[in-house]
C-alpha cells in the first residue's frame, strides 16, 4: 500500500507515522526534519538501485517527463554537457546517445572509453565528420568522435538517469515515486533519524527495523529481473 507524505485525517502519512513511532509531536520534531530524512532515504534508494540493477533504468514516477532530451550538434564542437533535464532535475548519468545527421538519418552512437584508444586522443577519428562514437568523460559530459563537421538542430538525442522528485514541507498527498513495497522504509528511516537526534529510548528498536528495510531494498533490486533469461556459458576445456 502506498503511503502519502502527510495525511492528518487518518494519521497514515509518513509524517504522522514517523512521529507516532518516535512518540513525539510537531513541536518536538517539526516537518522540516522529516523532509530531510525522507529525501535522504530517497537518495539512498536511487543510489542503491542504480548500483544493483544495471539492466533497468530506475526513475521516479513523480516526474512528468520521460528521461529523454535533445540538443543541437554544433560544427567543430566535440564536447557536450547535460546537467539538468527540461524540468530542472539533475542528470546523474547518460545511458545512451542517438544522433540525427544532416539528412535526417538516425543512428545510435557507440560508447567507447579512452583506455580503448591507442595513440593521442586528439588524433583519434580525425578529421571532423559524422560522429559514430562517444566517450562518457564524466557522469553527464560526453565527447563525440569524430568531431561534428556540420550543425544539426536537435541532432543529439540523449537518454539519462536523474535525481528523484524530492519532497518539501508543504507536500501532503504526494507519495514517493518508488514501488509501494519500499514506502515503509521512509517512515522507519525518518523515525530512526529522529530518535538518534533526540536521544530517544527506542533507538535500538528502530535500528533493527531499519536493517530490515535495508535488507528489503537489497531483495527488491536483486529479484527485479528474476524473469529475465540468463545465458549459461559452458566452461572451456583446457587440453594442454
**pLDDT (tens place) for every residue of the chain, 240 residues total:** 899 999 999 999 999 999 999 999 999 999 999 999 999 999 999 998 888 766 677 899 999 999 999 999 999 999 999 999 999 999 998 999 999 999 999 999 999 998 888 889 888 999 999 999 999 998 889 999 999 999 999 999 999 999 999 999 999 999 999 999 999 999 999 999 999 999 999 999 999 999 999 999 988 988 765 444 434 333 444 444
Answer whether residue 110 is part of any domain: yes
Q: pLDDT value at position 51?
A: 80
Please state, in angstroms and rounded to a whole number, the distance separating the CA atoms of residues 185 and 176: 11
Domain count, the chain: 2
* Co-location of 53 and 79 in the same domain: no
* Co-location of 75 and 150 in the same domain: yes
Please state, in angstroms and rounded to a whole number, the distance separating the CA atoms of residues 231 and 54: 17
Please provide the size of the chain in residues.
240
Answer whether residue 4 is part of any domain: no
Domain that holds residue 140: 68-162
Answer whether residue 215 is part of any domain: yes
CB atoms within 10 A of CB 70: 14
The SS3 call for residue 81 is strand
* Co-location of 186 and 151 in the same domain: no
Identify which of 206, 62, 47, 239 has the alpha carbon closest to the alpha carbon of residue 139: 47
Angle at 30 (CA atoms; ends 24, 35), nearest 5 degrees:
115
Q: pLDDT value at position 225?
A: 56
Query: What pTM does this model have?
Result: 0.84
* Co-location of 85 and 101 in the same domain: yes
* Co-location of 214 and 179 in the same domain: yes
C-alpha cell at 174: 504526494
- Beta-strand (E) ranges in 66-151? 68-73, 79-81, 91-100, 106-108, 110-112, 133-138, 141-145
- Cα-Cα end-to-end distance for the chain: 60
Answer whether residue 94 is part of any domain: yes
* Co-location of 187 and 139 in the same domain: no
Identify which of 47, 33, 44, 3 has the alpha carbon closest to the alpha carbon of residue 191: 33
* Co-location of 33 and 119 in the same domain: no
* DSSP classification of residue 202: T
- Helix, strand and coil content of the chain, in percent to the nearest 5, comes to 30, 20, 45
Q: Check if the beta carbon of residue 85 is closer than 8 Å to that of residue 165.
A: no
Please state, in angstroms and rounded to a whole number, the distance separating the CA atoms of residues 38 and 115: 40
Answer whether residue 27 is part of any domain: yes
pLDDT tens-digit series, residues 162-194: 999 999 999 999 999 999 999 999 999 999 999
Conformation bin of residue 150: beta by default, left when phi > 0, alpha when psi is -120 to 50: beta
Amino acid at each position: 500500500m502506498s503511503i502519502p507524505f502527510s495525511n492528518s485525517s487518518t494519521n497514515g502519512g509518513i509524517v504522522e507515522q514517523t512521529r507516532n513511532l518516535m512518540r513525539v509531536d510537531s513541536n518536538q520534531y517539526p516537518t522540516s526534519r522529516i523532509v530531510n530524512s525522507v529525501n535522504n532515504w530517497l537518495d539512498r534508494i536511487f543510489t542503491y538501485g542504480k548500483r544493483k540493477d544495471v539492466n533497468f533504468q530506475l526513475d521516479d514516477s513523480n516526474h512528468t517527463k520521460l528521461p529523454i532530451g535533445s540538443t543541437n550538434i554544433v560544427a567543430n564542437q566535440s564536447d557536450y554537457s547535460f546537467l539538468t533535464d527540461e524540468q530542472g532535475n539533475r542528470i546523474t548519468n547518460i545511458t545512451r546517445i542517438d544522433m540525427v545527421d544532416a539528412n535526417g538519418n538516425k543512428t545510435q552512437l557507440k560508447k567507447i572509453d579512452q583506455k580503448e584508444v591507442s595513440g593521442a586522443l586528439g588524433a583519434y577519428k580525425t578529421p571532423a565528420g559524422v560522429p559514430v562514437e562517444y566517450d562518457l568523460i564524466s557522469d553527464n559530459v560526453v565527447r563525440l568522435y569524430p568531431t561534428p563537421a556540420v550543425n544539426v538542430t536537435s541532432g543529439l538525442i540523449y537518454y539519462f538517469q536523474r535525481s528523484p522528485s524530492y519532497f518539501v514541507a508543504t507536500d501532503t498527498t504526494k507519495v514517493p515515486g518508488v514501488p509501494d513495497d519500499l514506502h515503509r522504509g521512509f517512515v522507519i528511516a525518518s523515525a530512526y533519524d529522529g530518535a538518534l537526534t533526540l536521544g530517544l529510548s527506542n533507538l535500538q528498536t528502530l535500528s533493527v527495523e531499519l536493517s530490515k528495510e535495508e535488507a528489503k531494498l537489497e531483495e527488491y533490486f536483486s529479484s527485479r529481473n528474476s524473469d529475465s533469461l540468463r545465458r549459461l556459458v559452458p566452461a572451456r576445456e583446457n587440453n594442454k
